Structure 1
Amino acid sequence: MIKPKTTKKDTRKELESLVDQFIKAKGEIQQVNMGESGLVDGKYNTSHIGFNEPKQDRTPLNHVVAALQQRKNQKPASSPTPTKKRPKKKIIYDDFGDPLRWVWEE
């Protein structure tokens, strides 16, 4: 049996009912200022930011790029390769103009 896809409307209803259940069970919703939840001790949590390590020197590859460009420019401008002609179907008629059979011609 295929499970029906939940719609946004269903998801909203489910979330509203969960919030209502939480409030009815003496739950309390705290209001916080925008951006405040991302702060740790009043500062941004930088433990997940990947800039803790010192900058690493990059290996220059200018000679590799130059070699690739040179090879690219050295390719001869070749004429387009002739395409193979595909065989065509031709109908053979009898003396009275009625079709007899199909034959393939190159």
Structure 2
Amino acid sequence: MKHPPSKQEMRQQLQREMDAFLSGGGQVDEIPRGQSAIAPGEIPPGMSRSIPSSGPKSKRESLLHVTQAIDERRRLKAENKRRATPLKTNRSPRKVPVYDDFGEVIRWEWRAPKE
């Protein structure tokens, strides 16, 4: 199984490649800070091609009425749900297990429902 190269091996490989480039007549150009390699209006590699055009900005529309309508529907739905839920009339005691520290049932108790 081939292991991935360590950081030290990668640094050494990069240094060898740079030395070979420079010894073969290559040159490193200094680029001023803040300057981009991408020409104005050019789409950078890896970016989506669906970038909006630089035409006039369209006026934004307020969607406050839409969010208010959604909130109102939610409120009505919750209100109707509360009305439709019948009140529990069964107030009889329940049989509830009592556990020890290890999760074993040690006894059963009858408990009245919480009010």
Query: Structure 2 length as normaliser, TM-score?
Result: 0.46
Query: Structure 1 length as normaliser, TM-score?
Result: 0.49
Which of the pair is proportionally richer in strand?
Answer: 1
